[in-house]
Chains A and B, each alone.
Chain A
Amino acid sequence: MSQHPNDSNEPLVKIRGLRFYRGDRAIFDGVDIDIPRGLITAIMGPSGTGKTTLLKLIGGQLRPNAGTIHVNGQNVHKLNNKDLYKLRMSMGMLFQSGALLTDINVFDNVAYPLREHTKLPESIIRKLVLMKLEAVGLRGARDLMPSELSGGMARRAALARAIVLDPEMIMYDEPFTGQDPISMGVLVQLIPRLNKASQLTSIVVSHDVEETADIADVIYVISNGKVIAGGPSEQIANSDSPWVRQFMDGLADGPVPFHFPAEPLEKDILGS
């Protein structure tokens, strides 16, 4: 596959006709998504629609049943192991739980990708790590162990680790879930700041409508395995589609029904 040079009009990630099944359930049933360069793209949808699965498909950890995913012009699932690992070095991923290595401290966690993939001397590694920790506000916490960090701090440490190799793209898996308002505020500030400062492309997977809609440039709404809306964020926020409105406004009932499918109530209670 030829690699296109950094053409700023070409989307960084191109997903076409993606189908992915878990058993009999279709998690994705023909999905087309374009992730533009240099912008923050949000992928939103109700829980269980496979948003995390999408990130794993983009990163090559899962194989789709049909369809293609191209990152920077390369078909992710046709790469051999060596090229796939090289591609992953240009992707940073922030897991929901941070996924820090629990047996080493914050500094060593952030230094890990540098020590594994580069032959830089320790003095330079130290400077790089401290700079990244400073960017997320954790330079003073460098000697703490992951078990001593609060949830929000663990996520920030994991973010520092994700950007330490200066990737082209960062994927955030539910970054706002379960955060207190202050940590949320910190992340809401950090994500666009990092995106702009390092000219990254960010993909944020979330179901926190308010925060995500605030920072996103492009929004895709996924439900039932299909993209029900996709476009610039103002367009989606003001959309008329009942699906999108139910999701964005947080309505309990609508196209996604409140009641799990069941028999009529009278039949259940009064017996048959």
Chain B
Amino acid sequence: MEQLARLGRIGISSLERLGRGHVLLVHMLSGFTALIMRPTLLIAQLHSVGVLSMLIITISGLFVGMVLGLQGYYILSQFGAEETLGVMVAASLVRELGPVVTALLFAGRAGSALTAEIGLMKATEQLSGLEMMAVDPIKRILTPRFMAGLISMPLLAALFSAVGIIGGHFVGVGLLGVDEGAYWSQMQAKIDLHEDIYNGVIKSMVFGFVCTWIALFQGHDCTPTSEGVSRATTRTVVHSALAILCLDFVLTALMFGE
């Protein structure tokens, strides 16, 4: 009986959290128009969320591209199809790895930073202080960060894919002897702007929306103690990762199915 009650409590509190998350989302979105009047807030956040993530995205992209080049070559050369290495690397990156790995890295780096920042502002009563100064903390603090995440994610994913393709080129053409002309021309022929690239961008926009939302909500909803903030950052990374992978499957099925 006690177990059933516990289950019920867990269910109810989960629904409550989901509800609070959506209320926060609407509140954040309602601050968009005010944000357009004050671009400096957005620019500062774009730097902190987007620009500071560029290093990890670039380096990861390079290595992922290089591994793709290696593995791709080993398998394709068994069928005498090395010349299609360019297509393989580009398609994997643009359709899947770019958006997904970027989102995972983003959640780990920028997402956890956002959660910790908001959580600490809550713990040190800064959010409360802003409220009492008649400044809406959601519109002033959370909305710029949300927009920054939305804008940064597709750009970072594109950067990841681009650097990955260069990494694949370096390994495939530079080290393993794939024909340079074939690498690029096959890629140009087979990768479609609408079907591959745009779909990849749409994916990364969806991931950006979800990751930033989760990060900001966890920070805003956390227990304002040091333990609470640490649990919130863990939850951000875990929930974001699960959401990304789950959504990736759904989006892939929708976009690339027949």
CB pair B126–A102 under 8 Å, yes or no, is: yes
Which residues 68-105 of A sit at the B interface, judged by CB distance below 8 A? 85-86, 88-89, 91-93, 95-97, 99-102
Q: Is the CB of A117 closer than 8 A to any CB of chain B?
A: yes
A116 interface residue per 8 A CB criterion: yes
Interface residues of B in 109-136 (CB under 8 A from A): 124-126, 128-136
- B134: chain A residues at CB < 8 Å are 85-86, 88-89, 113, 116-117
Task: Decide if B128 touches A116 in the complex (CB within 8 Å).
Answer: no
Chain A residues with CB below 8 A from B126, complex form = 99-102
Asked whether any CB of chain B lies closer than 8 Å to the CB of A243, the reply is: no
Contact B133 A95 (CB under 8 A): no
Cα–Cα, bound, A96→B124 (Å): 10
Contact in complex: A99, B128 (CB < 8 Å): yes
Contacts of B128 in A (CB 8 A): 56, 61, 95, 99
CB distance from A66 to the nearest CB of B (A): 23
**B132→A91 contact, CB < 8 A:** yes
Provide the bound-state CA to CA distance between A61 and B128, in Å. 8
Q: Is the CB of B124 within 8 A of A112?
A: no
- Verify A113–B132 contact, CB threshold 8 A: no
- Selected from B125, B133, B135, the residue in CB contact (under 8 A) with A97 is B125
Cβ-defined contact, A59 with B133, below 8 A: no
Nearest CB of chain A from residue B145's CB, rounded to whole Å: 13
Which of B124, B133, B134, B136 has its CB near the most chain A CB atoms (within 10 A)? B133
Tell me the smallest distance from the CB of A106 to a CB of chain B, in Å. Answer: 14
Chain A residue nearest to B133 (CB atoms) is A113
Docked Cα-Cα span, A56 to B125, in Å, equals 12
Within 8 A of A (CB), among B133-178: 133-136
* Bound complex: CA A248 to CA B126 (Å): 33
Is B124 a contact of A99 with CB atoms below 8 Å?
Answer: yes
**Chain A, 40-61, CB within 8 A of any chain B CB:** 56, 59, 61
- Indicate which residue in B124, B135, B136 contacts A102 across the interface (CB closer than 8 Å): B124
Expressed in whole angstroms, the Cα–Cα distance for A217 and B75 within the complex equals 86
Nearest CB on A from B85, distance (A) = 47
Interface string of B38-73 (1 = CB under 8 A from A): 000000000000000000000000000000000000
Residues of B within 8 A of A92 (CB): 132
Residues in A neighbouring B136, C-beta threshold 8 A: 85
Bound-state CA distance A186–B125 (Å) is 24
Which residue of chain B lies nearest to A161 when distances are taken between CB atoms in the complex?
A: B133
Cβ–Cβ contact B133 & A112, under 8 A: yes
Which chain B residue shows the least CB distance to A81?
Answer: B136
Asked if A116 meets B129 with Cβ closer than 8 Å, knowing A97-B124, A99-B124, the reply is: no
Interface residues of A in 141-174 (CB under 8 A from B): 158, 161
Closest 6 CB pairs of A and B: A99-B129, A88-B134, A93-B132, A99-B125, A85-B134, A89-B134
11 A-B residue contacts at CB 8 Å? A56-B128, A59-B132, A61-B128, A85-B134, A97-B125, A99-B128, A100-B126, A101-B130, A102-B124, A102-B126, A116-B135
5 additional A-B residue pairs with CB within 8 Å, beyond A91-B132, A101-B126, A116-B134: A88-B134, A93-B132, A99-B128, A100-B126, A113-B134
Question: Residues of B with Cβ closer than 8 Å to A?
Answer: 124-126, 128-136
